[in-house]
Amino acid sequence: MFRNIAVIGLGKLGYPMAQFLSSSGAKINCYDNNKNLVDDLKKNHGAHLHEIGLQNLVNNNNDLIFHNNIADCINDAEIIYITVPTPSKLDGSFSNEIIIQILAEVADAIKKQKNSKIININSTVQPGSIEGEIIPFLENKSLKNNSDFYVLYNPYFVALGSVIRNLEEPDYLLIGSSSIFASKKITKFYNSLYKNPKIRLLKFKEAELTKLLVNTYLTTKISYSNFVKEICKNFDDISDLRVLESVGLDRRIGTKFMLPGGPYSGPCLPRDNLSLKKFCLDNNIQNSFSDEVQKINNVTIENLYKIISTLKNNHKIKSFGFLGLGYKSNTQCFEESYSIKMMNFLRSLNIDVFYYDPYLSEKFDATKVMTFEELTSKSDIIFLSYIDQHFNSVVQIKQKKNIWDLWYHFSDSKFNKIFHKESDFKYFNNQNLEKDRKIIKFNKKTA
């Protein structure tokens, strides 16, 4: 058990992580160099993140203490969680620059305070970083590895919007380590925090690679689904949805990510694929795989553009409404959102763009509307980006509307519906709202 934990970096992962770790009973010492963010966290407790379950943790009166510098933050901490950005470089690899900046201060503090620390890196790093860059950097500061400091690599598999659930119920805990002492400490801690956790203790490079391989497997599944979609759209009598669901019923494959929907997006999946590509390049490993996955993803985005062109040319669409502009619900993050890419394309065709999104506060080249009624009255077609509990109360209109339901959210029965004809359907969304709508199945025939 740790009595004092430091968390450095209080962003989309770090702040929920700090709140979650405090449920262990430890005192959590927090530091982020963005002072405005810290002020906001003190006042609003991460409300801007929209993470489901976060406010429950906040309401538990968790013991979070904010510090103005790293030395104070780590002073009495036995373990330091580091969850700062590792931005992608132009070559696709992740930069450790911010981690190194922090470690310089951590090293100075360890020397002054004369007590050893476990340094737990949660940020995603390029395979080889811990042994090739991070440990040597600390050693160059005249600190002894596995004596003055102990490094762990412990990335969490979280998806924005469900970060708390993913932290609380991980499939397994991935830990890279080279020290029996630190491995035992973290294992004991997680055994006290979780009920029967699956803990995978690996060598650093194995853990670094595993983190990437999990996400690149997901991108592969998404691109595979989109490849199947491409096959099926050549046949009027084949439903891509039913084919993919049937393939996924084989338990060796699984139904998750087996939808003929859109491209992969967000802050992690696209850049993890590029990072794996760079890792293979650096190690002279033949890899056409990453390129192929990305190529299919690019084609999937291009197909969305083609559908938009068809909408304009054949269906005379003059206005377009996004029900959700970010890449998913319950996050203010819109990194690599295909809806934003579509928005830019629509604007280049002089199509008016409206959006209803309760999470985004940034300004976009589109008109934000505050009600779903406004969205439907102003838009010739509604693009349903994601399903969201906020839409339950707003999706109330009775008139028939053109809905581009990319992810089949409004299917009444995933197995029985033939989607590739244009007609009126009675159907409901995940939240069991039964509605009459007209689905335009553009992504079958007109793509």
Residues in the site for ligand NAD, rule: CB under 6 A?
Answer: 8-14, 31-34, 37, 83-86, 98, 101-102, 122-124, 155, 158, 160, 267-268
CA distance 353 to 355: 7
Q: Which is nearer to ligand NAD, 70 or 382 (CB)?
A: 70
CA angle 239/244/247 to nearest 5° reads 130
| CB atoms closer than 10 angstroms to residue 302 | 13
Least spacing, CB of residue 156 vs ligand NAD, in Å: 6
Residue 156 region by backbone torsions, left for phi larger than 0, else alpha for psi between -120 and 50, else beta: beta
| CB atoms closer than 10 angstroms to residue 48 | 15
Least spacing, CB of residue 373 vs ligand NAD, in Å: 33
CA distance 60 to 22: 9
CA distance 226 to 285: 26
CA distance 300 to 320: 19
Q: Which tokens go with 228?
A: 């199947």
Least spacing, CB of residue 95 vs ligand NAD, in Å: 10
Q: Which tokens go with 149?
A: 């400091």
Q: Which is nearer to ligand NAD, 12 or 409 (CB)?
A: 12
Q: Which tokens go with 311?
A: 């909408």
CA distance 71 to 443: 55
Closest to 323 in 3D by CA, of 436, 166, 429: 429
CA distance 401 to 438: 6
Q: Which is nearer to ligand NAD, 66 or 345 (CB)?
A: 66
Q: Which is nearer to ligand NAD, 12 or 420 (CB)?
A: 12
Least spacing, CB of residue 176 vs ligand NAD, in Å: 14
**Is the dihedral angle over the CA atoms 311, 317, 323, 328 positive or is it negative?**
positive
Q: Which tokens go with 163?
A: 């970060």
Least spacing, CB of residue 194 vs ligand NAD, in Å: 18
Partner residues linked to 354 by β-bridges: 321, 367
Closest to 343 in 3D by CA, of 357, 329, 359: 357
Closest to 155 in 3D by CA, of 138, 168, 173: 173
Q: Which is nearer to ligand NAD, 109 or 382 (CB)?
A: 109
Q: Which is nearer to ligand NAD, 103 or 366 (CB)?
A: 103
Q: Which is nearer to ligand NAD, 103 or 351 (CB)?
A: 103
The residue type found at 245 is: E
| Secondary structure element (H or E) that encloses residue 7, with its range | strand 4-8
Q: Which is nearer to ligand NAD, 208 or 380 (CB)?
A: 208
Least spacing, CB of residue 186 vs ligand NAD, in Å: 18
Partner residues linked to 424 by β-bridges: 438
CA distance 62 to 135: 32
Q: Which tokens go with 187?
A: 């294992």
Least spacing, CB of residue 110 vs ligand NAD, in Å: 17
Q: Which is nearer to ligand NAD, 33 or 287 (CB)?
A: 33
Least spacing, CB of residue 72 vs ligand NAD, in Å: 13
Q: Which is nearer to ligand NAD, 89 or 435 (CB)?
A: 89
Least spacing, CB of residue 80 vs ligand NAD, in Å: 12
Least spacing, CB of residue 85 vs ligand NAD, in Å: 5
Least spacing, CB of residue 368 vs ligand NAD, in Å: 23
Q: Which is nearer to ligand NAD, 212 or 243 (CB)?
A: 212
Q: Which residue is nearest to ligand NAD (CB)?
A: 11
CA distance 15 to 8: 9
- Strand 79-82, strand 173-177: pairing: unpaired
